Structure 1
Amino acid sequence: MTAEPAIVVAERTARESYGRLVALLAAPTGDLQLAEDTLAQAFEQALTTWPRDGVPDNPEGWLLTVARNRQRDLWKSAAHRRSVAPEAERDARVVAPFDDLDPDRIPDRRLALLFVCAHPAIAAHVRTPLMLQTVLGFDSAVIARLFAVPAGTMQQRLVRAKRRIRDVHIPFVVPGRQAMPERLPPVLEAVYGCYALAWPDRGDVTSPAGEARYLAVTTAGLLGDEPEAWALAALLTLASARATTPGQRYLPLADQDPATWDRRLIAEGESYLRRAERPGRAPGRFQLEAAIQAVHCHRARTGDTDWQALRTLYTALVAIAPTLGSLVARAAVVGRTDSPEQGLALLNALPPERERLQPYHATRAALLARLGRDMDAAQARAVAARLADDPAARAFLQRHIPEPD
């Protein structure tokens, strides 16, 4: 028995093993919802049992056993026999396929599960949210904010996706190397989303943000010659070089001291970006985003930001990936290079979903302030503060109107 407090072990196991456990439980039948429900019950039992009896030497195995027993109880119940096809009950006895996963083929089990959840039979628009919830452990409401959709809408999408996996019997099988490039885009999106959702802890290598960077670098090394994989590794590494440590006060990019940035990570990120370059081939989304980060990091050498270079890069980015985030960022840069009025015009042209996006309101506040529209700026800043997930960023917004990055 371990001497660590039960709640500490439970939290660590949830953070490190949630996705693997769900996949192991769902593998026989593809019923993700049942897997999540029984795992949640196992964690509840652990928080009752472990403080009294001691934490087991193998917490992950204990949770898996308890959850599997709960599944078996359900499969034996009369209600379940009436609602589940006999072949599903028979398949439920099959051994899960991840126990013998070759670590040399995919050196991180979470990464293996991301490729599993990128199965082409799963609707394209829900693959990345499914990975973020099932493998990386984010709540559906948090994922909804990332995609700027109502929480109820995202929850319904995830429920429908899990039901389809169960009903169509989409196999939980790790793809071979030849199938990985086809499944790569949603995997990269999920890793990127994990990093974005972990904003407050980007300076902590053990945080979800640190794990996302590790997964990005591991993916790039695994596939070897995929430029967008190396570009994502560059993007997250360069962004991490400018991260503050958890607990520090929030500072917008323009107010940060480049002397405090991590030069080692900057050099590492730039080396990944060079590996992403393909002569004669147009850059992809992550390569452009990494180049934007490289321009910001170059201020550590020159003391200045090349805003015209950023304008060019954002123009190229929105041409191939017109996400709300990239459109807002372009408006912020145009507000600097051209005029605040032109930046606001670009913001005003965005679709209604913009109202759910915190950077939209923060950028709007900054541009309005530069035009002397203080009351409108204060209202936009208040909305931005309310939508901020990071307490430090929220406190900053309540006191200041930041310059747009």
Structure 2
Amino acid sequence: MVSALVVQQRVADLVRECHGRLLALLAAPTRDIAAAEDALADAVERALKRWPDDGIPADPEAWLLTVARNRMRDMWKSHAYRMTRPIAEFDDSPTEVGDEPAIPDRRLELMLVCAHPAIAPEVRTPLMLQVVLGVTATAIAEAFAVEPAAMAQRLVRAKKRIRDAGIPYVLPEREDLAARLPAVLEAVYGAYAIDWQLVPQGAPLETLSAEALHLSLVLAELLPDEPEVLGLAALICLSQARRPARRGADGCFVPLDRQDTTRWDIALIARGEALLRRAHGFGRPGRFQYEAAIQSAHFTRPRDLAALRKLYRALLRVAPSLGAAVALAAVEGEIDGPEAGLRQLDAITQPAVERFRPAWTTRAHLLAEAGRSAEAADAYRMAIGLTGDPGVEAYLREQQRSLELH
């Protein structure tokens, strides 16, 4: 007998760790992602019911795969399914628990399926986030500023398209790979960014960020001569290396210049730097390489502000973004004074800047540096109203109070 709570936690951990790997194997024979999701959900439900009495299997991942495969075989044999679905050849003999060989990792093939030209460009990244990394449609909708119902509908249509078009689960030829690769890189980076923003404080770090790190390193191993693949892996290594120091013991956000450097992951930093050097050697810079170089520059003490300004300007040329524009304004303020930074901030024309919390935080800091305390306090109030992170909110309120006290 095993406690139901222990089983629930183990199953939750398995789903988080193995979702994409199992789903890729289950969906490959028929290209039917929705059916594979149903089969995997059924296996999870059976585990929750049976493991408290039977005990947790020695290889619980193989147990889930076996039960889900047998569920799919039952479905494949049904007359209704054969009449309405294109079927690939499959072994219709049931598998006994414990008979599964070593479980291969076919997540990259699944990601490339999701990036196939037959899939609408705007849904490729959300689809990969859901089917490979298990991100919920609600979280994806929030990240992409889309209504949850609309996002769910797009994902359903994309899965149907994969099934009906019979898109094969194979690594494409080199030319096709180059066309699909940008969407794959965006999905891996998107998973990391979503986890960074949405995982509650105090949750274990072995969540989407760890999965994104793993996938980026697998991509770098598979495509060692693609500099942007190496750049993405370097970026996530360097970003993840600072993550433990980003929060204090009280959960409050800690800005980069105040972080305890002893809490940085030195091994990850070294790995990221090595990947970045390899990418640089190809002489074909791109967005992820510039972002990784920016992360690398932030590790130096004192920081090379001139290098950071150059890197942000280069990043804005190849991949303009609101975040990069705001970061450049902050660097300009450090180099040429707060008024110069404020002018750079005022020059940003994107309408979204008014709802962008980092822009208000940067404005508040620059105003405080310029001695305009009342305006800075107002800017901090705006930033506080735009954050949903308690740790960041606590930090911003501390900055606001210190202005009001002086």
- The amino acid of 1:359's aligned partner reads P
Task: State yes or no: 1:321 paired with 2:339.
Answer: no
More displaced stretch, 18-27 vs 244-253:
244-253
Q: What residue ranges of structure 2 are gaps of 5+ in the alignment?
A: 93-99, 402-406
- The amino acid of 1:384's aligned partner reads L
> 1:353 Cα deviation (Å)?
8.3
In structure 2, the residue matched to 1:297 is: 299
- The amino acid of 2:269's aligned partner reads I
Contact in 2 for aligned 1:118/1:127 (Cα 8 Å): yes
- The amino acid of 2:296's aligned partner reads A
Contact in 1 for aligned 2:109/2:170 (Cα 8 Å): no
Q: Deviations over 1:107-135 (max 9, x none)?
A: x5433433343323222332222111111
SS in 2 for 1:242: helix
In structure 2, the residue matched to 1:143 is: 140
SS in 2 for 1:251: coil
Q: In structure 2, how many angstroms separate the alpha carbons of the residues matched to 1:398 and 1:275? A: 42
- The amino acid of 1:11's aligned partner reads A
In structure 2, the residue matched to 1:276 is: 279
> 1:247 Cα deviation (Å)?
7.3
Q: In structure 2, how many angstroms separate the alpha carbons of the residues matched to 1:147 and 1:353? A: 16
In structure 1, the residue matched to 2:18 is: 17
Contact in 1 for aligned 2:326/2:345 (Cα 8 Å): no
Task: State yes or no: 1:255 paired with 2:258.
Answer: yes
SS in 2 for 1:122: coil
| Gap change, CA 1:46 and 1:158, over 3 Å in 2 | same
2:306 pairs, out of 281, 292, 308, with 308
Contact in 2 for aligned 1:238/1:294 (Cα 8 Å): yes
> 1:289 Cα deviation (Å)?
0.6
SS in 2 for 1:400: helix
SS in 2 for 1:244: helix
Q: % of aligned pairs identical?
A: 48
In structure 1, the residue matched to 2:392 is: 393
Task: State yes or no: 1:166 paired with 2:163.
Answer: yes
Instruction: State the TM-score, normalizing by the size of structure 1.
Output: 0.79
| Gap change, CA 1:192 and 1:2, over 3 Å in 2 | farther
Q: In structure 2, how many angstroms separate the alpha carbons of the residues matched to 1:101 and 1:125? A: 35
Number of matched residues? 381
Matches within 5 A, 1:178-189: 179-189=176-186
Q: In structure 2, how many angstroms separate the alpha carbons of the residues matched to 1:278 and 1:203? A: 38
- The amino acid of 1:15's aligned partner reads R
Matches within 5 A, 1:25-44: 25-44=26-45
In structure 2, the residue matched to 1:46 is: 47
Contact in 1 for aligned 2:115/2:184 (Cα 8 Å): yes
> 1:191 Cα deviation (Å)?
2.1
> 1:238 Cα deviation (Å)?
2.1
Contact in 1 for aligned 2:24/2:106 (Cα 8 Å): no
Q: In structure 2, how many angstroms separate the alpha carbons of the residues matched to 1:393 and 1:147? A: 21
Contact in 2 for aligned 1:191/1:216 (Cα 8 Å): yes
Q: In structure 2, how many angstroms separate the alpha carbons of the residues matched to 1:44 and 1:327? A: 47
Q: In structure 1, how many angstroms separate the alpha carbons of the residues matched to 2:243 and 2:226? A: 26
Instruction: State the TM-score, normalizing by the size of structure 2.
Output: 0.78
> 1:70 Cα deviation (Å)?
4.6
Q: Deviations over 1:263-306 (max 9, x none)?
A: 44433322221111146x4510011111111111112xxxx222
- The amino acid of 1:6's aligned partner reads V
Contact in 1 for aligned 2:107/2:132 (Cα 8 Å): yes
> 1:18 Cα deviation (Å)?
0.6
- The amino acid of 1:400's aligned partner reads Q
> 1:345 Cα deviation (Å)?
1.5
Contact in 2 for aligned 1:226/1:276 (Cα 8 Å): yes
| Gap change, CA 1:33 and 1:275, over 3 Å in 2 | same
Q: In structure 2, how many angstroms separate the alpha carbons of the residues matched to 1:283 and 1:202? A: 37
1:286 pairs, out of 288, 309, 312, with 288
| Gap change, CA 1:293 and 1:154, over 3 Å in 2 | same
Contact in 2 for aligned 1:237/1:268 (Cα 8 Å): yes
Contact in 2 for aligned 1:39/1:63 (Cα 8 Å): yes
| Gap change, CA 1:253 and 1:168, over 3 Å in 2 | same
Q: In structure 2, how many angstroms separate the alpha carbons of the residues matched to 1:360 and 1:153? A: 29
Q: In structure 1, how many angstroms separate the alpha carbons of the residues matched to 2:275 and 2:70? A: 46
> 1:188 Cα deviation (Å)?
2.0
Contact in 2 for aligned 1:364/1:380 (Cα 8 Å): no
Task: State yes or no: 1:113 paired with 2:110.
Answer: yes
- The amino acid of 1:254's aligned partner reads D
Q: In structure 1, how many angstroms separate the alpha carbons of the residues matched to 2:18 and 2:181? A: 22
Q: What residue ranges of structure 1 are gaps of 5+ in the alignment?
A: none
RMSD (Å), alpha carbons = 3.7
In structure 2, the residue matched to 1:219 is: 219
- The amino acid of 2:158's aligned partner reads A
